[in-house]
């Protein structure tokens, strides 16, 4: 950029702390190299200070002064011990200010550092939550992989039935370890209803748990081990489930 | 040419507690109306004021008179801390509409809020900002007292970003003239 004029406007907006986005990045890159802009920002701050101090003075609450004076007294005694840390802190602040447009930059960065510390804490918390969710997912997939590695495991396809003809499911089944049902394309159960899985050996179907699906029609369901199971079916049942199938069958294996 | 404020800061940097007390007595009543104007609540304003002067005590040795007067040093710090407080409250409550509305209304000379706030606004308008044409006063109010960024101001006023920037620059130029007169 050959003209300096745009920076003069940015300097004014920066001085009232209203610069944001690309303008802020551009100006903060420019400011340390430009004595004219540093002077503009300084000058604008002096203007704002004069305008501010033209407001009628107003005494703050008296206890604020007492608390401060007390705090300043306490600190002085401890300063000898905390000296190194104190020196480091003021040193950092002084270094941030040196060569820039004065204390204002330091104040802005102090504020931003405080904000960053709060943001970091929030991110850390979110990461911890995500990690827990991922751990759970890993454990789940590890279970499925272990199941698949076992030669006794078989994969059974379930086809959509009736109104749910576009649904499909796959059961990873092991007589000794139980199974894992994966469902796709199944509409979420209407209010007051749930999906119930049935295992079929030789006699009547036995209830094998309730499950739901997400808005994309996907669901997973863990099933306990059971000997001699030959077929699987899913039906739509009243919430809470029933001991024997009563509603429409939506998925069934051959 | 050292001013009384500079002497006080130098003494504070050397650990002089009496100098700090004098510094507080000199500047706290000048800075308090600004903090109160921004955070609106007297107890919150007193809290912010304590943080500001505590930082001044701790940062006295970093003060450089070549970079600004003690007045600008303490005012800019106070404004920054007050805005921090307001932004923190805004994040907590997700409702910043009221203070901004008040600022806008105050800027346009309208009446809102309780009587004390109105009196404050009138006092403010009766001071240096009073000389500004309304469109310029409005952008300074929203940036300096309400802590909005240029983009937020542009959205709020439904004006192009370039207009907002120009108004801020013109407002500062005008304020400079009148406060130096």
Q: Which residues of A touch B79 (CB under 8 A)?
A: 17, 48, 52
Domain, as residue range, for B8:
1-93
Q: Are residues B82 and B112 in the same domain?
A: no
- A79 to chain B, minimum CA–CA distance in Å? 10
Domain, as residue range, for A224:
154-253
What pairs with residue A198 in β-bridges? Answer: A207, A233
Q: Are residues B9 and B35 in the same domain?
A: yes
Nearest CB to B165 within list A9, A55, A56? A9
* Smallest CA–CA distance from B88 into chain A, residue: A115
- Could you give the number of structural domains in chain A? 1
Domain contains A197:
yes
The single-letter DSSP state of residue A176 is: T
* Smallest CA–CA distance from A61 into chain B, residue: B46
Nearest CB to B50 within list A20, A23, A67? A67
Q: What is the C-alpha to C-alpha distance for residues A101 and A34, in angstroms, rounded to an integer?
A: 9
pLDDT in tens, chain A (254 residues): 458 889 999 999 999 999 999 999 999 899 989 999 999 999 999 999 999 988 888 899 988 888 888 888 875 554 444 555 555 555 554 554 444 445 556 666 666 777 777 777 777 878 887 887 888 778 877 888 888 888 888 889 999 998 888 899 999 888 888 888 999 999 999 989 999 999 998 888 999 999 999 888 888 888 888 888 889 999 999 998 999 999 999 999 98
What pairs with residue A193 in β-bridges? Answer: A238
Distances from the Cα of A223 to the Cαs of A144, A188, A198, A252, in angstroms? 12, 20, 10, 16
This prediction has a pTM of 0.56
* A90 with B49: Cβ contact below 8 A: no
Chain Cα centroid distance, residue A103:
35
- A35 to chain B, minimum CA–CA distance in Å? 12
Q: What is the C-alpha to C-alpha distance for residues B16 and B130, in angstroms, rounded to an integer?
A: 39
What pairs with residue A170 in β-bridges? Answer: A157, A182
Helix (H) or strand (E) holding A194: strand A193-200
The complex scores an ipTM of: 0.85
Domain contains A238:
yes
CATH number of the CATH domain containing B169: 1.10.10.10
Provide the phi-psi class of A43: left if phi over 0, else alpha when psi is between -120 and 50, else beta: alpha
Domain contains A146:
no
């Amino acid at each position: 950029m050959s003209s300096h004029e745009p920076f003069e406007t940015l300097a004014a907006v920066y001085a009232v702390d209203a610069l944001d986005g690309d303008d802020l990045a551009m100006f903060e890159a420019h400011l340390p190299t430009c004595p004219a802009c540093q002077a503009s920002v300084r000058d604008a701050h002096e203007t704002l200070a004069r305008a501010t101090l033209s407001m009628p003075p107003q005494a703050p609450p008296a206890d604020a002064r007492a608390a401060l004076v007390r705090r300043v007294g306490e600190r002085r005694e401890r300063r000898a011990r905390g000296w190194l840390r104190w020196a480091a802190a003021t040193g950092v602040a002084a270094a941030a200010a040196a060569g820039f447009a004065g204390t204002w930059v330091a104040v802005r960065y102090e504020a931003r550092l405080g904000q960053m510390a709060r943001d970091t804490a929030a991110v850390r918390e979110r990461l911890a939550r995500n990690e827990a969710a991922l751990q759970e997912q890993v454990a789940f997939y590890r279970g499925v992989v272990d199941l698949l590695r076992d030669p006794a495991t078989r994969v059974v396809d379930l086809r959509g039935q009736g109104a749910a003809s576009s649904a499909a499911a796959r059961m990873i089944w092991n007589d000794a370890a139980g199974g894992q049902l994966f469902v796709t394309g199944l509409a979420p159960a209407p209010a007051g209803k749930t999906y119930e899985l049935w295992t079929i050996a030789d006699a009547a179907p036995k209830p094998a748990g309730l499950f739901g699906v997400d808005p994309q029609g996907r669901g997973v369901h863990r099933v306990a081990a059971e000997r001699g199971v030959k077929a699987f079916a899913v039906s739509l049942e009243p919430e809470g489930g029933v001991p024997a199938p009563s509603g429409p069958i939506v998925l069934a294996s051959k | 040419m050292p001013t009384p404020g500079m002497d006080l800061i130098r003494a504070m940097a050397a650990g002089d507690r009496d100098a700090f007390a004098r510094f507080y007595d000199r500047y706290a009543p000048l800075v308090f109306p600004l903090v109160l104007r921004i955070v609106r609540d007297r107890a919150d304003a007193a809290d912010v004021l304590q943080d500001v002067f505590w930082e001044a005590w701790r940062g006295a040795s970093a003060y450089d008179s070549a970079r600004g007067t003690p007045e600008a040093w303490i005012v800019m710090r106070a404004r920054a801390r007050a805005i921090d407080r307001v932004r923190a409250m805004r994040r907590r409550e997700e409702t910043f509409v009221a203070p901004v509305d008040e600022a806008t209304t105050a800027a346009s000379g309208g009446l809102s809020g309780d009587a004390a706030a109105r009196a404050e606004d009138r006092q403010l308008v009766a001071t240096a900002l009073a000389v500004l044409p309304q469109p310029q006063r409005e952008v300074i109010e929203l940036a300096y007292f309400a802590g909005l960024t240029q983009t937020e101001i542009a959205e709020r006023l439904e004006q192009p970003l370039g207009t907002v920037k120009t108004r801020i620059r013109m407002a500062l130029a005008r304020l400079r003239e009148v406060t130096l007169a």
